[in-house]
Amino acid sequence: MNVILMVFLLVSDAHGLPLTRAEIGCTFEPELNRTFYTGVAFASFGAVTVNTFAASGGVALGVLNNAFDMKIFAKAEYRLPIKLPLIFSFHYTYNGLPDYKTHIQSLLPMVALKGRWVGTAIGPAWHFTIFKQEPVIIEPIFAFSAYVNLYNTEKGRIGLECANYTDFVSRNMGSYSFRLYTSIRITPICTFINDLTLYQTGSVGLAAQLYGIAYRGGIAFTW
């Protein structure tokens, strides 16, 4: 995924496209929950912005309850050329546990307002689940997210987010998360990422006491 983004960067530079922002990074993500007990993943991601269009993607590989875990995402965004920060996006995720013969693909068309201090996104999500030789299970689910930045400057950011999806995972209504995210700019192009997430892994609200906690730490380069 990141190789494709790097090729796009080279092509855009060669043809003089108005590239306004580019980012690549990697993270280390351990987690502990009452469903799969433990897990850890190494993820890489990248993003490019050309005028009002943006594309991003990433791959995460790891283990979940001693089983190989693979996650992929790809996302395209279009920001309206107006003062209101209104964004339309299309998000694809793949989650696979090959050892359990489980594969989940999700499609999320979203509309979002992303401001400097607050933002939200909503839209339908369709999950296509394949488990062993069973027929495909199709689930329509409402996807949502909301965030508030408590501190947001050129030097760093601290904020809170509540959502039932991430870049790599699309969950159901009963499996949402609360995330404390922070970033510290070390140099003009290098940023340290440090997030802590508490999430509910049950299926119906707070009825199932299946909570998990995850940490995400890493580094990102932007220019």
Mean pLDDT over residues 86-98, rounded?
Answer: 95
- Distance between first and last Cα of the chain: 19
Residue-wise pLDDT tens digits, 109-132: 999 999 999 999 999 999 999 988
pLDDT for the residue 12: 44
Q: Number of C-alpha atoms within 13 angstroms, CB side, residue 205?
A: 2
pLDDT band at 67 (very low <50, low <70, confident <90, very high): confident
* Secondary structure letter of residue 100 according to DSSP: G
Query: What confidence tens digit (pLDDT) does each residue in 135-184 have?
Result: 899 989 999 999 999 999 989 999 999 999 999 998 776 678 899 999 99
- Which residue type does 134 have? E
The β-bridge relationship of strands 67-79 and 211-222 is unpaired
Helices (H), the chain: 2-14
The CA R_g of the chain, rounded to the nearest whole Å, is: 18
Residue 15: predicted pLDDT: 43
- The 3-state DSSP class for residue 99 equals helix
If you count them, how many residues does the chain have? 223
CA distances, 11 to each of 16, 24, 135 (Å): 8, 17, 42
Question: Residue 42: its pLDDT value, please?
Answer: 97
Q: Where are the domains of the chain?
A: 2-222
- Which of the four pLDDT bands, split at 50, 70 and 90, describes residue 45? very high
Taking the CB of residue 96, how many other CB atoms lie within 10 A of it? 17
- Tokens 């050309």 sit on residue: 50
196: helix, strand or coil:
strand
10 pLDDT more than 70 = no
Q: Which CATH number fits domain 2-222: 3.60.140.10, 3.40.50.300, 2.40.160.40, 3.30.70.3150?
A: 2.40.160.40
Identify the band that residue 99 occupies on the pLDDT scale cut at 50, 70 and 90: confident
The residues pairing with 128 across neighbouring beta strands, listed in sequence order, are: 105, 138
> 158-170: string of b/e by CB count within 10 Å (b at 16+)?
ebebebbbbbbbb
The CA distance from 115 to 119, in Å, is 5
216 phi/psi in degrees, rounded to 5: -135, 120
Question: Cβ(173)–Cβ(142) under 8 Å?
Answer: yes
pLDDT of residue 35: 63
Per-residue pLDDT for 222 more than 90?
A: yes
Give me the pLDDT at residue 146, please: 97
